[in-house]
Amino acid sequence: MFLKRQQRLAHLIQEKHFDALALNAGPSLTYFTGLHFHLMERPVVLLFMPGNEPVLILPELERAKLDQVTYPLKSFVYPENPAQWPNVFSQASQSIELTGKNIGVEPQQLRLLEYNYLTSAAEKGSFSDASGLITSLRAVKDSSEVQYMKKAVQIAQKALKDALKQARIGMAEQELANELVIQLLKHGSEPHLPFSPIVSAGPNGANPHAQPSKRKLEVGDLLIVDWGASYNGYASDLTRTFGVGKVDEKYQHIHHIVHQANAAGREAARPGAACEDIDKAARTVIEDAGYGPFFCHRTGHGIGMECHEEPYIRGDNQQILQAGMTFTVEPGIYLPGENGVRIEDDVLIVKDGVESLSDFPREMHVIEEI
C-alpha cells in the first residue's frame, strides 16, 4: 500500500515540476510511509525524490521503528549531540543530490527547525508549497481508510450514548466533557483524540469553539456536544445539540432549522458537485428562515488523518467533489447571550451520491433532572 502511494507521489512530483519533496513528522509522512513520529525537539525529515529510494533522517532513539518497513528506504540516523546533526542532514542531502533542486514542502507543517537544517544541507535549493500535490492524494480515501473512519464514528457514537447516561441538570460542562473522554477511551478510541470535546450550554453555546467551563447545565439551555474519536490514525468529528429540561419554543425552532440545513447539505453532496454547492444548500435553509447572520462559519471541512483537511466546504470553494472524499456537514445558528445549535455529520462521497458515516439521532433529545 505504501509503495503504491509513493509511486503515485513520484508521478505527481514530476507532473507538478518539483524535483523532490521534504516532509517532517506528521500525517503526510505517516500516509506515505506508515511510520509514526511526533513533533519534538529532535527533527525527523523524509526526503522523497523520484527515481531514488526515500531518505529518512531521524534520531538514534527512533531507529527501532524502521524494523516495520517493508519497502526500500535509506536512513540517516543522528546521535543526541545537536552539533552533529547538520552533518547528518548534509549526508542525506548529498545521497540524492538535492543541491540546487526545487523542493516541495508543507507550509502549515514544516517548522523553522527543520527548514533551517534543510536549507543548510541543500545548498542553492528552493522551497515551494507542495500542499496541493499532497492533499490531492490524501483527500480521496481508499477502502481501508473508509473502514477506519467508520470505526472512529462508531466509537464516538457509543461513547456519547454512555456519557449521556450521566448527564443531568446541575452538572458542569467540564464534568460532562470529562465523562465523555473516559467513554471514548473505554469504547476503543486511541488516547490521542482528534480534539478535546466541546461541551457548551446556554450562552456558552453561542461560541462555536467554546471551552468546557464550570458553568452548570440549567433548565432551558441548549447543550452542544462536539466530539470525536481516533482509530488507527483516522478521526471522526460529530456534533449534536440537546435540550436541558423544558426548552423555549424559539430554541426548539432554531434546532429544527439547523436539522433541516444539515439534511439539505448532505442531500446536495454527490460526485461532480462543488464544495460551494453543499455550503449554499445548507446556508440557504438558515438564511430563508431569517437567521443567516447567525451562521458564522463554513458548512464543513475534510476529515481523515487530520480532523481538518481538504476539501473545505465553504461558499467560495469551487473544488469538485470526487468519490472517496470525506468531510463534515455542520451548519449552526448562534444567538449571542442566549443559545447555540450545531448538528454535524461525517459523510463519504460514493459513486452514486453520498453516504453518512454517522447516524446518531439528530432530533433534540431532552436531558431531564435525575
Mean pLDDT of 267-283: 98
- Rounded to whole angstroms, the Cα distance separating 219 from 234 reads 37
Task: Choose one of 138, 159, 186: the last residue of a domain.
Answer: 138
Residues 316 and 179 in one domain: yes
- Rounded to whole angstroms, the Cα distance separating 264 from 261 reads 5
Say whether pLDDT at 178 is over 60.
yes
Asked if 26 and 61 count as a contact pair (C-beta separation under 8 A), the reply is: no
Residues 83 and 132 in one domain: yes
- Rounded to whole angstroms, the Cα distance separating 194 from 181 reads 11
- What cell does 161 get? 450514548
Q: What does the pLDDT read at residue 369?
A: 59
Q: What does the pLDDT read at residue 370?
A: 43
Give the closest residue to 200 by CA, choosing from 192, 209, 187, 189: 209
Residue written as cell 440557504?
Answer: 284
Q: Domain holding 363: CATH number?
A: 3.90.230.10
Asked if 323 and 355 count as a contact pair (C-beta separation under 8 A), the reply is: no
- Rounded to whole angstroms, the Cα distance separating 332 from 298 reads 10
Residues 123 and 230 in one domain: no
Question: Which 3 state secondary structure label does DSSP give 128?
Answer: strand
Task: Choose one of 73, 106, 138: the last residue of a domain.
Answer: 138
Q: What does the pLDDT read at residue 368?
A: 80
Question: 115 lies in which domain range?
Answer: 2-138
Share of the chain above pLDDT 70, in %: 99
- Rounded to whole angstroms, the Cα distance separating 102 from 124 reads 9
Residues 27 and 148 in one domain: no
> What is the largest distance, in Å, between two alpha-carbon atoms of the chain?
70
Average pLDDT along the chain: 97
* Stretch (H or E) spanning 260: helix 249-268
Residues 24 and 134 in one domain: yes
Task: Choose one of 110, 138, 166: the last residue of a domain.
Answer: 138
Q: Which residues 6+ apart lie within 8 Å of 178 measured at CB?
A: none
Q: Which residues 6+ apart lie within 8 Å of 112 measured at CB?
A: none
Residues 94 and 205 in one domain: no
Residue 37 identity: F
Residues 65 and 183 in one domain: no
Q: How crowded is residue 87: how many other Cβ atoms within 10 Å of its Cβ? A: 12
Give the closest residue to 223 by CA, choosing from 163, 263, 273: 163
Q: Domain holding 101: CATH number?
A: 3.40.350.10
Residues 74 and 161 in one domain: no
Say whether pLDDT at 329 is over 70.
yes
Q: Which tens digits make up the pLDDT trace of 15-24?
A: 999 999 999 9
Residues 39 and 77 in one domain: yes
Residue written as cell 467533489?
Answer: 321
Say whether pLDDT at 256 is over 60.
yes
Q: How confident is the model at residue 45 (pLDDT cuts 50, 70, 90)?
A: very high
Residues 228 and 351 in one domain: yes
Q: Which tens digits make up the pLDDT trace of 86-130?
A: 999 999 999 999 999 999 999 999 999 999 999 999 999 999 999
Residues 297 and 209 in one domain: yes
Residues 209 and 345 in one domain: yes
Say whether pLDDT at 325 is over 50.
yes
* Stretch (H or E) spanning 105: strand 102-105
Name the CA dihedral angle for 354, 359, 364, 368, rounded to a multiple of 10 degrees.
Answer: -170
Q: How confident is the model at residue 291 (pLDDT cuts 50, 70, 90)?
A: very high
Domain count, the chain: 2
